[in-house]
Chain A
Amino acid sequence: DIQMTQSPSSLSASVGDRVTITCRASQSISSYLNWYHQKPGKAPELLIYAASTLQSGVPSRFSGSGSGTDFTLTISSLQPEDFATYYCQQSYSNPPTFGGGTKVEIK
């Protein structure tokens, strides 16, 4: 199975900050990488698929980059509704494994 490692596991940031989350795959996954966020008690929501394609309806402050084994999710200006846990998921092969999550908290 492909292992996905996210860093950091948590971070504290203020509204308006630029935030970057990293995801590393245990082997090359080309650009088959999705990003989700999940608010407490809610289902996850898709933000980005294929490493850099913004899902319909997702604000443009979210962006994704990377290929091969190293990927990043960037929030250009953190908003109050962005405080959540973020997950990457490789979609290269089954099982479609998720990273352990990055909790973004209010500073």
Chain B
Amino acid sequence: ILNVEQSPQSLHVQEGDSTNFTCSFPSSNFYALHWYRWETAKSPEALFVMTLNGDEKKKGRISATLNTKEGYSYLYIKGSQPEDSATYLCAFNTGGFKTIFGAGTRLFVKA
């Protein structure tokens, strides 16, 4: 059974702190790894799609890295702002039609 684990489950930081969280996935049959941000009362929004080992992607203050050989991806947020408060989901795909999501990391940024 393919499983995607995210840690921590939740995280409380102060405005201005930098933070990071982890997504672990099976290292075999890797095809793509997605990161999404899901704010309360909104729909999940795509952040990154990563396909190559060693990939690094950046979007403003948010960046992500990928290690397909050991089966993990890190998401980093530099200088957290209250508007970064959301659930961050990662999703793994082996190249089939099925995408497997983790349970998410819920980030709370206090002003």
A and B, one complex?
Answer: no
- A residues engaging B (CB < 8 A)? none
- B residues engaging A (CB < 8 A)? none
